[in-house]
Structure formats: structure tokens, C-alpha cells
Amino acid sequence: MKRGYRRGYPVAILVGFEENRVVLWRIFSKVVKPEKTLWLDGTRNDPKILYNFYESIVNALRPTLKEGVRSIILASPARTEYARKFIDHINRHHTWLVQGSNSAVFSEITGSAGTPSEVAALTRTPMFLQQISETTSEETENLIETLEKYLNAPNQDVLVLYSLEEAEDLIVGSRKPGKPKPEYLILTDKYLSDSSQKNRIQRLIQIATNRNVKTRIVAAESPAGLRLAQLGGLVCLARLEQTTARANASARTKYH
């Protein structure tokens, strides 16, 4: 828990493209950590080899995307099109990644991100800082769009919880038939930093991640953070299982 808090919270994924490999990095609010290195098994002139290489990158991104981090920065050296061609692959074969309120946000930056020293130099540049700010802002706008849909849902199939205690009960507690399924846990960095129960929140975040609840900490000064602050700084979004929702609807119909 303490180690995780020192590194901060997840912010984005950095993908460093090179001629024969790609290196994935996880960007936290305080540090950058290497995630995985994937090698091109052949040459870029072979369409099948290149297709398989791009698919391996998508598969490597999936675990972090499931956690709720959907800001992806693609870095490639000057005078190359490595990042652009990968985005073309995404647009052709993985439209689920770029469409809808639950989509990821991809952005390109010129620079090398294959080694720790290259990443350290890149992440200190004003260009990178601006890029990550714009990318995460766009992503969190998608998050707020999802939140507003839950808040304005015309039925009783969705649930919005506003307290740490309610979120714990739903996420940490045992899954019982008819109990709503938690889908998102969203909070601001200020809510976390100002809390006297940081370990408790960190435990909730870890359990939520382990149970495939999309978890996101957003900057308090961002538009998404300001909206969350109006709601207390933390929300948990949940949805009733389809069978339970249908049963409830049927019961309401019979009652009326």
C-alpha cells in the first residue's frame, strides 16, 4: 500500500516505438514504471508480421485499459511513422477503442521512449507535459459523460454512490444475487490526499482493480475533477444485472 502511494496514481500509458520493438511504460502521478517490451519478429515490410506485432501491442494494453486508464501517448522518433501506422491499425481493426464514451484517447508525440533515460528526458519536456494534460483531459471528459448518463438514467437499473462507506460495501462486500454490480470507482486526487483514511482508500482501490472495477483518480482542477468535487469527490457507479433489472421492472408493472 505504502509503496503504491509513493508512486502516486495511474495517469496514462506511454508507448515508445522503435524500429524493431515497442516499450510500454505506465505513467503514474509521481513516477514512470516500465511495463513490457515487445519485439518485432521479422521486418516491417511483411504485412502479416506487422499485423501480429500491432495485435500484440493491443493485447498488452488491455489489462491497464480494464483498470480504467485510457490515456495512451504514442512516442516515435522523428521522421518515422511508427505511431501513425499503429493508429491506422486501431482505426481499421479495433474501433471499440476509439468510439463511444468508454473509448481510449490516443495522442502522438515525437521523441524516443525506449530506455529509462530517454523516458526521463521526454517526460520533462514542455511538449510532453502539454500532451499528457490534453490527452487526460479528453479522457476524463469521457468519464464525466459516463457519470452524467448514470445520474440522468430514466430507470432504476443504475446506481450512483457518493460515500466511501457505500463504495466499500458494494465493492469489498460479498457479491449476492440481486446486488448491483460496481462498474466504476472515480475520485479526485484531492479527495485522496486530503483524506485521513488514505490506507483505507488505497485498499478499496486495490480491491476494485482486482475485481475488474474500472478505477480512475483524476486531477481535482480538471473539468472532471470539478464535477466530482460537486458530488463530494468520490463516486461509485453500479448497474443491476439484466436478470435482476427485468425482475424489478416486472414487479413494478404488476404493482401498477
- The 10s digit of each residue's pLDDT in 154-191 is 877 889 999 999 999 999 987 777 789 999 999 999 99
Residue-level pLDDT at 251: 39
Compute the distance between CA of residue 182 and CA of residue 241 in angstroms, rounded to an integer: 10
Mean pLDDT of 76-96: 96
Helix/strand/coil percent split, the chain, to 5: 50, 25, 30
Compute the distance between CA of residue 46 and CA of residue 3 in angstroms, rounded to an integer: 43
pLDDT at 252 over 60: no
Roughly what angle, to the nearest 10 degrees, separates helices 116-123 and 126-151? 80
What mean pLDDT value characterizes the chain? 88
CATH topology of domain 2-142: Nucleotidyltransferase; domain 5 (3.30.420)
Residue 24: strand pairing partners: 15, 36
Residue-level pLDDT at 253: 36
Specify the CATH number of the domain 153-255.
3.30.1330.30
Other beta carbons within 10 Å of 10: 22
- Tell me whether residue 234 is exposed, middle or buried, using C-beta atoms within 10 angstroms of its C-beta: 0 to 12, 13 to 18, 19 or more: buried
What are the structural domain ranges in the chain? 2-142, 153-255
Q: pLDDT higher for 215 or 137?
A: 215
- The type of residue at 194 is D
Predicted model pTM: 0.79
Sheet holding 105-110, edge to edge: 32-39, 21-28, 10-17, 71-76, 105-110
Nearest CA to 188 out of 132, 234, 238, 237 is that of: 234
Phi, psi of 215 (to 5 degrees): -120, 135
In this structure, of 106-110, 145-149, 227-231, the range with the lowest mean pLDDT score is: 145-149
Q: pLDDT higher for 179 or 232?
A: 232
- The 10s digit of each residue's pLDDT in 30-80 is 899 999 999 999 999 999 999 999 999 999 999 999 888 999 999 999 999
